[in-house]
Structure 1
């Protein structure tokens, strides 16, 4: 059985998609831990409901990012892959060294276009007709790692963030679990 750790910061819709997808033991993947940087984030309750162990931390409780990441590394059980599913922090050298080429991120745009926190908003502001979702390896840059999988999403002339974001999330909820499964099948 392969194991993953999921890092998330918010509501946890992608965490829920992963738990649903990998809830079938025949898929051969188990979520070993959720790491969250907000103890009251809704994703924490989702993890408890799914019987997934949770490690929460407040980065401000540590001297620096390296110390916080060292605490995460120490808390994690052995995992085959780290999956960032709405984790709103840039990982530093401590995490990257602990899991070389074993950290993947989900991004709500077709990279290399529109990296960073506001991918959906930036795509709308630029006026693209197609945006999408990317799963990529994490490196030292911001959304600059090698692309693993992408799926386009059409932008309608009448779209706003409120109408486009749910369609982006629907694609995320399929692309992330299937990509993680494919990576772990190799």
Structure 2
């Protein structure tokens, strides 16, 4: 999939926005090949929105509770994101699953991170599940979102060793640091080189 340069990124957040900040810092360099054109959230008064505002990036909020159905929320989110004409949509700690109306608009261009080495340990407790299972390495995955839960084609993965004295908190914190670098590196490559998906295999370049 060829992407115009600089690629237009819309980033979705639900919390502190550390992954968003990493992208904002990276896109400050024109050589990165992308810029953040909007930041959206599913709640007000979060640090992620404040990070965007400090960077001069437009923001919007679409709360599920403000709509009569989840599908109406999904359609409204899709319409708002589409208004910024993104080349890529990045979920950076966005804690809501999107539905078919959103995926119909941005399928193949919507990416998300997960704090585990998929397909192992999907769901909301990737680091904890990995630690409980007793694995020797954990990590993070960047994938193209599809209609499943953490099931889309894998763009990139990064490995983090599990230490004998790790807790869920210490392991998750180290995963988040590696995850941020993986996200910045992979989104930059997608923007500069484009990518293709064939039989679930993602390849960078045209």
2 CA distance for matches of 1:34 and 1:25? 19
**TM-score (normalised: structure 1):** 0.96
Taking the TM superposition and a 5 Å limit, the aligned residue runs for 1:18-97 are 18-76=23-81, 77-97=84-104
* Offset of residue 132 of structure 1: 0.3
Aligned pairs, number: 186
- Structure 1 CA distance, aligned partners of 2:56 and 2:168? 33
Cα deviation code 1:112-162 (max 9, x no counterpart): 011111111111111111110100000000000011110110000100022
Which of 116, 138, 156 is 2:163 aligned to? 156
Match of 1:171 in 2: 178
Question: 1:145 & 1:133 partners in 2: Cα distance?
Answer: 14
Contact 2:7–2:35, Cα closer than 8 Å, also in 1: yes
What's the TM-score once normalised by structure 2's chain length?
A: 0.87
| Displacement of 1:16 | 0.6
Paired with 1:89 and 1:28, the residues of 2 have a C-alpha distance of 28
Pick which of 131-140 and 36-45 moved more: 36-45
Q: Unaligned regions of 5+ residues in structure 1, if any?
A: none
Give the alignment partner of residue 5 of structure 1, picking from 7, 10, 17: 10
| Structure 1 residue ranges, 4+ long, deviating more than 3 angstroms after superposition | none
